[in-house]
Amino acid sequence: MVSRREFLQHSLAAGIGSVLLPAAVARAAEAPSLKIAAFRVDASPPKDHPLCGGWIKPVVGMDDPEEAIGFVLTGAGDPIVVCAVDWTGILNQTHIQFRQALAQAAGTTPDRVAIQCVHQHNAPFVCRNTQALLDTLGEGIQNLFPDFLDRVQDSLAKAVEKACQNLRPVTHIAHGQGKVEKVASNRRILGPDGNLADWRGSASKVERHWELPEGQIDPYLKTVAFYDGETKLVACHYYATHPMSYYGDGMVCSDFVGLARKRRQAEEPGCTHIYFTGASGNIAAGKYNNGTPEARIQLTDRIYAGIVASESKLSPVAVSSASWSATPVFLPVRDTLNESRLMDDVRNRDNALANRIRPAMMVSWMRRCEEKLPIVISALHVNDATMLHLPAESFLEYQLGAQAAAPNRFVATAAYGDGGPWYIPVETAYPQGGYEVSVALTDPKVEGVLSGGAKQVVGG
Ligand SMILES: [Zn+2]
């Protein structure tokens, strides 16, 4: 975006001086010539590949493919790459390497690449540093198959390169939102004393969990769509909930949010539909999901209905401004993490596999922080729409806070970027306890750092 100062300087240089320009001319002078191209690769893990990091049954078969879908956008400074991957998470240096590979492919810098996972659980949850640490044990414990990761990274880079050859103009942009009924619910049920009174995960067979209130959620599925004239080229959808109906059966699956996306995609082959999971560390479908195959179908229908409702509100307007903002943040490491104790757990052959891989992932996070490798928070702004990219399992409050910080903008949030820190609660959640807090790898002071970074890139 041309700043006001640059614009005025340009006007002065052109001899326009203090002559008041008609608004339309001023807009035309500032309108960027954006171009976009979508890309898509298969990201389904092969047979026997660890799922959810190796904590659950590995791949035995496939219900439906997992994909990595994204777009390259040019014309707002150096190229921008945004991508959603149907994986549980991409952590630490592995996330950085993916961003570097896509940046190189697009001829840009890694801080202009956002890779966000959708967070399905019958899916890869990958950290090469964790794998390297496990390799030192010499027991063949696996967090990922390195050749599979190489293959996905290479095919994504090639797809980005190819997309750069097939760019189309973006003349218009639209945004909309639609209410999703009976999908999201807060996992943390607080009692009158403000402490955690109950907890429900992504699925529950306990009737009480279906009856307890929804709690705080963001009920809206948001869409930002890019057009060349009348032709909708790319539609990005955002909704905040853990995306699992059921998992642990070894069947690769894009789950209900991916299935809803695929249904919409089949209806509109000319437009690339991308689904992003919002900040949903404390949000899941537990109130509305008994974990049966029937529930998966219902949840798919409801997300699909949300996409359709959101798209019905799309009203394209001419692109008048576009920019990218990014900031590195250093999230504070939880002081209860003790590397030597965690390494004892990693080495302990009496521990279940999951309880050896998990501490290895925690150590990888700690070491990454010692190396001062930041997490990058970024946002793409087009007209009054902002697409915010947050890390890991950020709590919903970060998404709501970013919206509140920019009340005049349409802020759509994708979380599950760099997955290194796992759950990122807000400060008040720590003393309440509960599962998410027990597996948060950041200090309670993280809230100030993360919400500060988010507000900075959103701009307000
Ligand atoms: Zn999660």
Burial 198-221 (b: 16+ CB within 10 A, else e): ebbebbbeeeebeebeebbbbebb
The model's pLDDT over 252-287, given as tens digits with 9 standing for 90+, comes to 999 999 999 999 999 999 999 999 999 999 999 999
Give residue 393 CA to ligand 1 midpoint distance, Å: 6
Decide: helix, strand or coil at residue 155.
Answer: helix
pLDDT of 29 > 80? The answer is no
pLDDT in tens, 115-153: 999 999 999 999 999 999 999 999 999 999 999 999 999
Give per-residue pLDDT as tens, 72-109.
999 999 999 999 999 999 999 999 999 999 999 999 99
Coil vs helix vs strand at 43: coil
* Cα gap 54→362, rounded to integer Å: 14
**Domain extent listing, the chain:** 1-30, 34-458
CB 385 within 8 A of CB 112: no
> In this structure, which residues have their CB less than 5 angstroms from ion ligand 1?
393
* Ligand 1 centre distance from Cα of residue 242 (Å): 6
Ligand 1 midpoint to CA 119 (Å): 7
Task: Report how far ligand 1's centroid is from the alpha carbon of 121 (Å).
Answer: 8
Look at residues 42, 52, 55, 130 and name the one whose alpha carbon lies nearest to residue 93.
130
Q: Is it the case that residue 22 has pLDDT exceeding 50?
A: no
- Examine the pLDDT at 15 and tell me if it is beyond 80: no
For residue 386, report the distance from its CA to the centre of ligand 1, in Å: 24
How far, in Å, from the CA of 344 to the mean position of ligand 1? 25
CA of 146 to the centre of ligand 1 (A): 23
- pLDDT category at 7 given cuts 50, 70, 90 is very low
Task: Tell how far the Cα of 118 is from the centroid of ligand 1, in angstroms.
Answer: 10
Q: Give me ligand 1 centre to Cα 169, in Å.
A: 37
Q: Ligand 1: distance of its center to the CA of 434 in Å?
A: 14
Confidence at residue 460, expressed as pLDDT on a 0 to 100 scale: 55
